């Protein structure tokens, strides 16, 4: 299969829509690693600072929880405080993950404060997209293993798409026109359709679950 001429809809209909030309050809592993390394070097100070904040947050939360359970405080009070601290830590860790993506995806280099500022309103959306993608992948795996694998690849970066493009919920999951995994899925569908007559109906209908979305 020629990477330069991948067609997400080999039958020529408008089911998938147009794909941005810059996404039609996937770079090789070494090119991707090189680009990632260059991006990391360019924004090293911001990325390391955000990661350091995340590590300090986890350390502070763990130390506080340890200190609570080493004291003679009431069990109910200790549990309540621990739950609150854990929730705060989870929220902040999610925030730092979003801030890292914002720092990397920004066209111009941005600082730590701006990275956190861009991500502060996307925490709930991030969790919602993660829940939805997990639900779809788990459901596909339960139905048949192949759809689970394809959905897993398809939705692997759904949260990143949500952060960068601002697509929320199902809209973020469905906005895959710019992601190579969907064009690969359509090519797989094309190849599969030529062999479907050789398969029994039960396997065919299970596999066809892939194309409901």
Least reliable range by pLDDT among 4-8, 19-23, 134-138: 4-8
Quote the CA–CA distance of 50 and 118 in Å, as a whole number. Answer: 13
Tell me the pLDDT of the chain averaged across its residues. 71
Quote the CA–CA distance of 99 and 50 in Å, as a whole number. Answer: 7
pLDDT tops 60 at residue 61: yes
Whether the CB-CB separation of 25 and 3 falls below 8 Å is answered with: yes
Specify whether 153 is located in the same domain as 89.
no
Q: What is the DSSP string of 99-146?
A: HHHHHHH-SS---HHHHHHHHTT-HHHHHHHHHHHHHHHHHHHHH-HH
pLDDT tops 80 at residue 66: yes
Specify whether 105 is located in the same domain as 170.
no
**Tell me, what's the pLDDT at 101?**
87
Specify whether 44 is located in the same domain as 110.
yes
Q: Is the dihedral of CA 130, 132, 134, 140 positive or negative?
A: negative
* Cβ within 8 Å of residue 156, ≥6 positions away: 181
pLDDT in tens, 128-169: 888 888 887 787 777 777 777 777 777 777 777 777 776 665
Specify whether 103 is located in the same domain as 179.
no
Specify whether 114 is located in the same domain as 127.
no
End-of-domain residue from the set 119, 144, 165: 119
Specify whether 115 is located in the same domain as 35.
yes
Specify whether 98 is located in the same domain as 179.
no
């Amino acid at each position: 299969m020629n990477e330069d001429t991948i067609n997400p809809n080999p039958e020529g209909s408008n089911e998938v829509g147009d794909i941005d030309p810059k996404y039609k050809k996937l770079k090789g592993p070494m090119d991707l690693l090189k680009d990632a390394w260059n991006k990391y070097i360019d924004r090293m100070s911001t990325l390391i600072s955000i990661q350091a904040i995340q590590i300090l947050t986890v350390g502070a939360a763990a130390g506080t929880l340890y200190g609570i359970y080493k004291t003679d405080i009431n069990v109910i009070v200790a549990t309540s405080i621990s739950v609150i601290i854990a929730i705060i830590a989870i929220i902040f860790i999610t925030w730092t993950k979003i801030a890292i993506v914002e720092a990397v995806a920004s066209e111009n280099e941005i600082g730590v404060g701006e990275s956190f500022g861009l991500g502060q309103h996307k925490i709930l959306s991030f969790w919602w997209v993660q829940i939805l993608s997990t639900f779809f992948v788990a459901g596909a795996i339960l139905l048949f293993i192949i759809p689970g694998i394809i959905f897993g690849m398809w939705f692997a970066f759904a949260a990143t798409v949500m952060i960068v493009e601002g697509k929320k919920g199902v809209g973020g999951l469905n906005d895959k026109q710019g992601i190579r995994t969907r064009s690969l899925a359509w090519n797989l569908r094309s190849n599969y359709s030529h062999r479907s007559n050789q398969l029994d109906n039960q396997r065919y209908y299970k596999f066809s679950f892939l194309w409901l979305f």
